[in-house]
Amino acid sequence: MSKDSLTTGRFGSYGGMFVPELLIQPLKEVAEAFERFKKDKQAQAELQRLLLTFAGRPTPLYHARTLSDELGFQLYLKREDLLHGGAHKTNNTLGQGLLAQFMGKRKLIAETGAGQHGVAVAMIGALLNMPVTVFMGERDIKRQQPNVKRMQLFGADVVSVTGGSKTLKDAINEALRYYVAHSTETFYVFGTAAGPHPYPTIVRQFQEVIGREARRQILEQTNRLPKKVIACVGGGSNAIGIFSGFLADSEVELIGVEPAGGAPLNYGQPAILHGALSYALQDRHGNISESESIAAGLDYPGVGPEHSALKDAARAEYVTVTDAAALSAFHQLCTKEGIIPALESSHALAHAVSLKGKLKKTDLVIVNLSGRGDKDIDQLPPLTTHP
Ligand SMILES: *Cc1c(COP(=O)(O)O)cnc(C)c1O
C-alpha cells in the first residue's frame, strides 16, 4: 500500500469512513492524534518499553522440526501465542491504550463478541490505570463466562447488551451509541484491522511488529526469505501484521486463511459494513449474513479493507479451511510439537499441512501462530481416553 493510503484510509477502492455525521469529528481527531503519536519520541519510547517488558516482545520464531520432517518442507512458527495475554491482540490494545493516554482521554470502551478483545482491553486498562467499559451481547455473556470473569478480574465493567440478536453486532451498535455521546473523555479501542478510518491503519501499524520481527528472525536463522507466509483472517489484524513485513518482497507468497463458514474474501461481495467498504458475506438480497466457525475469533462476516485490496491486486491469496481440518491441525501441533494453538491459528496451520508433498524440502514456510489454545479446550469434541 502507498504511504498515502495509510493517511487517507483508502486501500484501492476499499476502506473509507462511512459513518454517521456525529462520528466524523471524533474519528478525525483520532486520525490526527495518531499521526502525532507516531512522531512523538517519548510516546514511542514508552510503547517500546512496554512491548519489551510487559508484553514480552520479541516473540520467538520457532523451527518446528518434527512437523517439518513429516510435511516435507521447513515449517517455522511465529509465536504470538507466547505474547502476554496469549495472543497478538495485546500489540493492538497496548498501542491504542497509549494513544488514548496521549490524547488525554480518561476512559476506554470496547465491544467484544467471544470476549478475547474485551479481555485484552481490560488488561491494558488495568496496566494504564484507565477505567474500561466493555459492551457485550447478553447471549455472548452467557456463552463466554470465563472471559467475562477475566475482564472483571482486571476491574472492567461488562455491560450486557439486550437488543437485537444479543451478539457482537448489537454490542458494536451499543458501543458506538455510547461513543457518540461521550467521545470527549472516551477512546474507543477497536479490535481488528477493520471498521472506519483510521482504525484499519492504526491496527495495522500496531501489528506490523510481528512482520518486522519475523523477517529479521528468518534471515538470522536461515539467511533466506520464506516461500510462503500464512496467517488466519478474521478481521485481518494478525495477518496484515505479519504480511506487512514481506509485502515489498514480491517473491514471498502471502496467504490468508478464512474459515469455510465465514469467508468474505472467498464467498463475499464488496459492501459497507461497520464504517468501511470491503468484502462482506451477504445473502441474495444484499443483507449481511451470519458467519459460522468453530473459532470464535474468526466468526465475522466482514474483513479489513486492506485485505480486499491485496486480494484484488493478487498480492495475497485467500483460501478456506474447514472446522474439521483446523481441528486436525490443532491435534497435530499438540502431539508433534507440544504446543496448544488457538483454534483460529489452527486454520493457518491446517493450510500449511495441506501443502504436504507439494513443496521442496528446502522451502521455508512461516505460519503466524496468532494465539494459544488454552481458551478453546472446553469446546473441543470429546477426546478418546486410553485405559
Ligand atoms: C482475535 C483472534 C484472531 C482473529 O483476529 P484477526 O484480527 O483476524 O487477527 C485470530 N487469532 C487469535 C488467537 C485471536 O484471538
**Structural domains of the chain in order of their starting residue, each with its CATH number:** 9-50+88-199 (3.40.50.1100), 57-87+208-379 (3.40.50.1100)
User: How far apart, in whole angstroms, are the C-alpha atoms of residue 211 and residue 80?
Assistant: 11
Q: Is the CB of 93 under 6 A from ligand 1?
A: no
Rounded to the nearest angstrom, the distance between the alpha carbon of 371 and the centre of ligand 1 is 8
- Using a 6 Å cutoff on CB, does residue 6 contact ligand 1? no
Candidate from 202, 237, 330, 333 with most ligand 1 atoms within 8 A of CB, to mutate: 237
Q: Which of 80, 111, 213, 258 is catalytic?
A: 111
Stretches in the chain below the pLDDT threshold 50: 1-4, 6
The three grid cell numbers given for residue 239, joined into one nine-digit string: 495477518
In the prediction, which pLDDT does 173 show? Answer: 86
Residues 32 and 34: their CA atoms lie apart, in Å, by 5
Q: Which of 78, 89, 228, 311 is catalytic?
A: 89
**Per-residue pLDDT tens for 26-42?**
999 999 999 999 999 99
327-373 pLDDT, tens digit each: 999 999 999 999 999 999 999 999 999 999 999 999 999 999 999 99
Q: In whole angstroms, what is the distance from residue 258 CA to residue 106 CA? A: 36
Q: Is position 370 annotated as part of the catalytic site?
A: yes
CA 57 to chain CA centroid, nearest Å: 17
Within 10 angstroms of residue 378's Cβ, the number of other Cβ atoms is 7
Residue 8 near residue 14, CB atoms below 8 Å? no
pLDDT score for 102: 98
| 258 labelled catalytic | no
Q: Establish whether 208 is a catalytic residue.
A: no
Q: What's the pLDDT score for residue 4?
A: 45
Cα–Cα distance, 332 to 97 (Å, whole number):
36
Could you tell me the CA-to-CA distances from 256 to 15, 216, 228, 230, 345 in Å, in that order? 18, 21, 11, 6, 11
pTM over 0.85: yes
How confident is the model at residue 144, as a pLDDT? 87
Tens of pLDDT, residues 137-147 = 998 998 889 99
pLDDT at 167: 83
Which one of 294, 344, 346, 374 would you pick to mutate in the ligand 1 pocket, going by the greatest count of ligand atoms within 8 A of its CB? 344
